[in-house]
Amino acid sequence: MNTTIYDQYQENKRFVSVDCVIFGYEQEQLKVLVFQRDIEPSKGEWSLLGGWVHVNESTEDAARRVLNKLTGLEDVYLEQVHTFSQPDRDPGGSVITVEYYALIKIDDKASNLIEDYGAKWFSLEELPKLIFDHDVLVKKALEKLRLRSSYEIIGRKLLPEKFTLTRLRNLYNQIFQREFDPGNFRKKILSLKVLERLEEKDMSESKKGAFYFKFKPKNEAEFTDPIVKRSI
């Protein structure tokens, strides 16, 4: 199966897995999708979505493969977070894991597939204790998501096609766990010129109604200045 010139080093070969912190946004809350583990050790406990990295497959491909099997989605937003390799991190054996976070829209038709796997969305506050070092992985993923969110408006992959600025602001409130000033947030976001206002209004949240916005096509306006100045 492996016919490489490194075959003399076979004794150094390692188990490599990927773990995915799957973020979604629902009911004004940032949520993480976790699973009841179906193999030993720790069978039945909550864990992140994971899987083995096959030979002749990149870790990102592996992450996409396990995500696709779970959700049926093809074009998930993925970002590599960190690689964990403490030999004792998994009591079942020495496993190196490469961590990714994924952003998905909860309203996607994925939901039925997800339920088949006994998976469940939890808000950050309600997240149960996870196996191994997965709690640390969630924390790391959130930090990386914050960093990313301060360099670009992240909502494109988490929000539905059209959304109000209040909803986008609330997403940012959730990600950074702090309250952004409504007026200032609005001005900042609009100054970036990545959103386009629609004529339609959302009348469900207020009497006056709030205009829907949508993202302009990706290439039109890019920027590199931080949206959120303060470091994480």
Q: What is the three-class DSSP state of 134?
A: helix
Task: Determine if 184 is a binding residue for DNA (CB under 7 A).
Answer: yes
Residue 32, by phi and psi: left (phi above 0), alpha (psi -120 to 50) or beta? beta
Residue 73 or residue 227: which is nearer to DNA going by CB?
Answer: 227
What residues from 57 to 116 belong to the interface with a copy of itself (CB under 8 A)? Answer: 57-60, 80, 82-83, 85-87, 92-96, 98
CA-only gyration radius of the chain, Å: 20
- Residue 67 near residue 75 (C-beta atoms within 8 A): no
**230 forms part of the interface with a copy of itself (CB under 8 A):** yes
Smaller CB separation from a copy of itself, 57 or 108: 57
Q: Is 229 in the site for DNA (CB under 7 A)?
A: yes
The string over 34-45, giving b where at least 16 C-beta atoms fall within 10 Å of a residue's C-beta and e elsewhere, is bbebeeeeeeeb
Site for DNA in 153-182 (CB under 7 A): 164-166, 181-182
Sketch the per residue contact string, 106 through 145, with DNA: x for CB under 7 A, - otherwise: ----------------------------------------
Name which of residues 22 to 61 contact a copy of itself (CB under 8 A): 40-41, 52-60
Examine residue 222 and tell whether it contacts DNA (CB under 7 A). Answer: no
SS3 166: helix
Binding site partner of 82, from a copy of itself, DNA, none, Cβ cut-off 5-8 A by kind:
a copy of itself
Q: Is 66 helix (H, G, I), strand (E, B) or coil?
A: helix
Q: Let me know if 155 is exposed, middle or buried by CB neighbors in 10 A (0-12, 13-18, 19+).
A: buried
Minimum separation from the CB atom of position 215 to DNA (A)? 16
Residue 158: phi, psi to the nearest 5?
-110, -30
Give which of 95, 17, 113 is closest to 62, Cα–Cα: 17
Binding residue for DNA (CB under 7 A) from 206, 218, 221, 223? 206
Looking at residue 181, the DSSP 8-state letter turns out to be: P
Contact residues: a copy of itself, CB under 8 A: 1-2, 4-7, 9, 11-16, 40-41, 52-60, 80, 82-83, 85-87, 92-96, 98, 151, 224-226, 229-232
